[in-house]
């Protein structure tokens, strides 16, 4: 679409009297300085639809004329979708600056060769001639009196963290909650969220994974029964709705703009947050200038760990699990050139022995492998010993069924790629990694894998074995991180004393 400029205002070509000098929005220099005109009979439907969001014109089910009059009265503003930078382009919606993710095409809307962002294309194309529309108006927020209805108890470690979260919410400050796998991170948030809702604040919990959104939404609905809550992920029915409590995948967050007073980012270390600057950008864009930012993580990035140790980053740790038993510590075992063994159709001797002994004692186990092709080879070999052994990977169409079958105890051994490293909690299992030296098994991935073991109070222990062909820094750092957490837990008196 093209705009013409009239007395410093943008007018869409379709609404202008002449099409002379019409240009794509990215080629126009303008400042959006219009302030809301008091007394303008605004459309509450449009403004509530757009509140706290930044959308494409196609995403707004309102006429261009209506949108334009709200713009002219200062109730909303247009922004360039793509801007030119010194080195190339930047997508204003998703923050992408990587030249490989830009392409151009002969655009029928602006009649120029128009550059667009391929990174966020799944949410509709943002190109040089695409305006982003955001609101300048916000409706007053309702306050909720004691919205929390939960009578669980927090562990000592959780209590301290919950206090810190509540403080951060009230003070609009930043905080990292470093909680080991199984510490009960979600409960730590309840108090802080309740406080925010009492103060009339808007809260967003962002997580990189759809599964987490789906799991978290009903839990929070139960403990905040009187508060409207929406869950946003690709294909969710709540899209386009608004509520004081939002749980969103980081992609859906891209449509928000200065919307939240409290931004909680779950599993900061998780793929893809740590490797996707887009999600960092989305969170920064979706929160208000004055807001609190809370990171929840089980395994912060090494650079963050350093910052935390040096006191540069405000953090609170929960080094002990909810049940108060120490974290099981992984052991390393060299298994030689396992890839060559697999090619010959067999597992390294110690790996085979480990697998067979789980089957004899009928203890369920996960076996993590680095790649899908390895997974297939391993499953083929192990199936000869026990036919109900299964393999599961990210693109497996039967993924959910297989995981459920494992939970029900129908599968003795599940061979898997790193997709199951977090989230899946099965009470009494052992875990092994074949090829722990692979690049995919980073420190945080290995800590998460180890975190699958000993989750329940009835079975707080289990075996974690990293089979490797050469120790890596990641393996050593993972083990050290777990041991350090156990030490801290003991020092702070958070462990159970028999």
Residue 322 CA, distance from chain mean position? 23
CA contacts within 13 A on the Cβ side of 409: 4
Confirm or reject binding of residue 277 to other proteins (CB under 8 A).
no
At its nearest, how many Å lie between other proteins and the CB of residue 109? 5
Residue 222 CA, distance from chain mean position? 22
Of the pair 105, 139, the CB lying nearest other proteins is at 105
Per CB under 8 A, the segment of 33-41, 119-127, 386-394, 416-424 that binds other proteins is 119-127
Maximum C-alpha span of the chain: 84
Site for other proteins in 44-73 (CB under 8 A): 58
C-alpha span between 188 and 155 (Å, rounded): 10
CB-based contacts of 357: which residues, under 8 Å, 6+ apart? none
Q: Which DSSP state fits 78?
A: E
Site for other proteins in 98-117 (CB under 8 A): 100, 103-109, 114, 116
Of the pair 121, 356, the CB lying nearest other proteins is at 121
At its nearest, how many Å lie between other proteins and the CB of residue 278? 13
Per CB under 8 A, the segment of 83-91, 118-126, 152-160, 224-232 that binds other proteins is 118-126
Task: Figure out which of the listed residues 9, 23, 27, 118 binds other proteins, where binding follows CB under 8 A.
Answer: 118
Find out whether 282 and 95 touch, Cβ atoms under 8 Å.
Answer: yes
Enter the tokens of residue 389. 């052994």
- Report DSSP letters for 449-469, one per residue: HHTTTT-SSSS----EEEEES
Of the pair 58, 408, the CB lying nearest other proteins is at 58
**How far apart, in Å, do the first and last CA atoms of the chain sit?**
71
Angle at 143 between CA 140 and CA 147, to 5 degrees: 150
CB-based contacts of 188: which residues, under 8 Å, 6+ apart? 154, 158, 161, 162, 165, 177, 179, 296, 318
At its nearest, how many Å lie between other proteins and the CB of residue 46? 21
At its nearest, how many Å lie between other proteins and the CB of residue 127? 7
Of the pair 56, 405, the CB lying nearest other proteins is at 56
Confirm or reject binding of residue 3 to other proteins (CB under 8 A).
no
At its nearest, how many Å lie between other proteins and the CB of residue 95? 17
Of the pair 234, 493, the CB lying nearest other proteins is at 234
Confirm or reject binding of residue 127 to other proteins (CB under 8 A).
yes
Task: Figure out which of the listed residues 122, 145, 289, 303 binds other proteins, where binding follows CB under 8 A.
Answer: 122
Of the pair 4, 477, the CB lying nearest other proteins is at 4
Of the pair 47, 372, the CB lying nearest other proteins is at 372
Find out whether 246 and 203 touch, Cβ atoms under 8 Å.
Answer: yes
Enter the tokens of residue 349. 């001797």
C-alpha span between 114 and 103 (Å, rounded): 8
Task: Figure out which of the listed residues 5, 28, 56, 121 binds other proteins, where binding follows CB under 8 A.
Answer: 121
At its nearest, how many Å lie between other proteins and the CB of residue 425? 30
Q: Is 299 left (phi over 0), alpha (psi -120 to 50) or beta?
A: beta
At its nearest, how many Å lie between other proteins and the CB of residue 122? 6
> For residue 465, which of 485, 439, 446 has the smallest C-alpha distance?
446
Distances (CA, A) of 263 to 207, 240, 266, 447: 11, 19, 10, 25
Task: Figure out which of the listed residues 9, 23, 27, 125 binds other proteins, where binding follows CB under 8 A.
Answer: 125
At its nearest, how many Å lie between other proteins and the CB of residue 210? 18
Site for other proteins in 73-102 (CB under 8 A): 100
Of the pair 58, 290, the CB lying nearest other proteins is at 58
Q: Which DSSP state fits 112?
A: S
Confirm or reject binding of residue 144 to other proteins (CB under 8 A).
no
Of the pair 42, 62, the CB lying nearest other proteins is at 62
At its nearest, how many Å lie between other proteins and the CB of residue 366? 25
Of the pair 107, 193, the CB lying nearest other proteins is at 107
Q: Which residues bind other proteins (CB under 8 A)?
A: 58, 100, 103-109, 114, 116, 118, 121-122, 124-125, 127
């Amino acid at each position: 679409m093209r705009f013409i400029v009239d007395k410093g205002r943008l007018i869409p070509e379709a609404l202008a009297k002449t099409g002379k000098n019409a240009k794509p929005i990215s080629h126009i220099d303008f400042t959006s300085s219009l302030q809301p005109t008091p007394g303008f009979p605004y459309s509450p439907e449009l403004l509530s639809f757009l509140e706290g969001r930044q959308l494409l014109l196609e995403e707004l089910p309102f006429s261009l004329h209506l949108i334009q009059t709200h713009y002219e009265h200062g109730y909303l503003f247009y922004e360039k979708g793509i801007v030119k930078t010194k080195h190339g382009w930047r997508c204003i919606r998703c923050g992408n600056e990587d030249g490989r993710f830009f392409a151009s095409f002969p655009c029928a809307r602006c009649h120029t060769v128009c550059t667009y962002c391929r990174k966020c294309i799944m949410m509709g194309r943002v190109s040089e001639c695409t305006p982003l529309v955001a609101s300048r108006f916000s409706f007053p927020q309702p306050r909720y009196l004691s919205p929390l209805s939960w009578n669980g108890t927090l562990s000592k470690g959780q209590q301290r963290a919950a206090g810190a979260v509540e403080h951060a919410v009230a003070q609009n400050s930043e905080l990292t909650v470093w909680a080991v796998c199984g510490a009960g991170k979600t409960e730590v948030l309840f108090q802080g969220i309740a406080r925010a809702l009492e103060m009339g604040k808007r809260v967003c919990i962002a997580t990189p994974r759809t599964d987490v959104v789906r799991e978290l939404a009903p839990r929070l609905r139960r403990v905040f029964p009187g508060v409207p809550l929406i869950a946003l992920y690709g294909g969710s029915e709540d899209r386009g709705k608004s509520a004081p409590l939002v749980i969103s995948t980081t992609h859906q967050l891209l449509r928000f703009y200065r919307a939240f007073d409290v931004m909680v980012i779950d599993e900061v270390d998780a793929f893809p947050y740590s490797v996707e600057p887009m999600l960092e950008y989305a969170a920064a864009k979706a929160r208000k200038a004055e807001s609190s930012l809370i990171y929840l993580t089980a395994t912060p990035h090494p650079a963050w760990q350093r910052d935390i140790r040096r006191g540069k980053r405000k953090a609170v740790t929960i080094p002990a699990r909810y049940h108060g038993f120490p974290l099981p510590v992984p052991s390393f075992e060299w298994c030689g050139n396992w890839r060559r063994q697999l090619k010959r159709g067999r597992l390294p001797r110690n790996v085979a022995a480990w697998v067979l002994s789980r089957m004899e004692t009928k203890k369920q186990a996960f076996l993590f492998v680095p790649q899908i092709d390895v997974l297939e080879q391993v499953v083929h070999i192990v199936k000869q010993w026990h036919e109900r052994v299964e393999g599961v990977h990210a693109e497996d169409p039967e993924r959910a069924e297989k995981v459920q079958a494992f939970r029900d105890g129908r599968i003795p051994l599940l061979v898997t790629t790193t997709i199951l490293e977090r989230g899946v909690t099965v009470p009494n299992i052992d875990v092994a990694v074949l090829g722990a030296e692979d690049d995919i098994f980073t420190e945080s991935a290995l800590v998460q894998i180890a975190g699958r073991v000993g989750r329940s109070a009835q079975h707080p222990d289990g075996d974690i074995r990293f089979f490797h062909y050469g120790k890596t820094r990641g393996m050593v750092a993972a083990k050290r991180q777990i041991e350090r957490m156990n030490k801290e837990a003991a020092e702070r008196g958070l462990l159970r004393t028999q």
